[in-house]
């Protein structure tokens, strides 16, 4: 299976939009592909999706022509290998804290993909204080295509409250972005409509965007146009 354009763009540091499907929604694949999403973000960490549902979504994405990437609920190789065996085009790996975690993820992709390894994308999440502390060593590990900053989980690790924005969180996010830029490493994070300009000014190219944000924006506009 050839690389998707989204995978090539990601590696080249060009903008890529990944939409989190928010659950078992295979029918949404075709409109996402048709209207300009680049990646179907199949979330097995923060939803109830199991392996069978993820497999259905991977296959639906391939049929629709949109790149399927799976966020595993675990960084355990025994868990992640099953998504690659079912032809996910990429993995998003959570709970990364050390360079060794990254090396194990890279080796898993090589082991599971064989001759297709060049056609697979690996993204690791930077979402803990430990990951930020060890970032230089993490970025030194070859074989990673991009880094996904998780500001909400990082905020929880720092303060015990998801979604908080203390100065130390903002400084940490800026530091991660700066280190990625200095090494020409593609990176991204969630950014809503009001945050897009700041996201691009930091050098982010991998935009994580929940489906509910698209619905929120569209329904807000629809209500404003129709009900007033």
pLDDT in tens, 51-64: 999 999 999 999 99
* Domain span holding position 196: 5-226
> Collapsing DSSP states into helix, strand and coil, what is residue 93?
strand
Q: Based on the structure, what is the number of domains in the chain? A: 1
Percentage of the chain exceeding pLDDT 90: 93
User: What pLDDT is stored for residue 165 in this prediction?
Assistant: 85
Reported as a pLDDT band with limits 50, 70 and 90, residue 188 is very high
pLDDT in tens, 161-180: 887 888 999 999 999 999 99
Rounded to whole angstroms, the Cα distance separating 147 from 175 reads 13
Q: Where residue 33 sits, what CATH number does that domain have? A: 3.20.20.60
**25 backbone φψ class: left, alpha, beta (φ>0; ψ -120 to 50):** beta
Reported as a pLDDT band with limits 50, 70 and 90, residue 216 is very high
């Amino acid at each position: 299976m050839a690389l998707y354009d989204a995978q090539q763009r990601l590696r080249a540091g060009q903008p890529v939009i990944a939409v989190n499907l928010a659950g078992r929604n295979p029918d949404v694949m075709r409109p996402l592909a048709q209207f300009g999403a680049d990646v179907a973000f199949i979330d097995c960490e923060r939803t109830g999706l199991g392996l069978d549902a993820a497999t259905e979504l991977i296959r639906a994405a391939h049929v629709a022509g949109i790149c399927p990437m799976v966020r595993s609920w675990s960084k355990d190789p025994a868990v992640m290998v099953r998504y690659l065996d079912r032809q996910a085009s990429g993995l998003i790996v959570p709970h990364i804290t050390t360079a060794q975690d990254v090396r194990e993820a890279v080796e898993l992709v090589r082991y599971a993909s064989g001759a297709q390894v060049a056609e697979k994308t690996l993204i690791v999440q930077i979402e803990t204080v430990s990951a930020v502390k060890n970032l230089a060593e993490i970025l030194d590990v070859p074989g990673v295509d991009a880094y996904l900053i998780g500001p909400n989980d990082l905020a929880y690790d720092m303060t015990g409250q998801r979604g908080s924005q203390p100065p130390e969180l903002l400084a940490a996010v800026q530091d991660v972005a700066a280190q990625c830029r200095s090494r020409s490493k593609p990176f991204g994070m969630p950014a809503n409509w009001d945050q897009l300009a700041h996201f691009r000014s930091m050098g982010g190219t991998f935009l994580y965007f929940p489906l509910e944000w698209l619905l929120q924006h569209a329904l807000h506009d629809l209500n404003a146009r129709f009900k007033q």
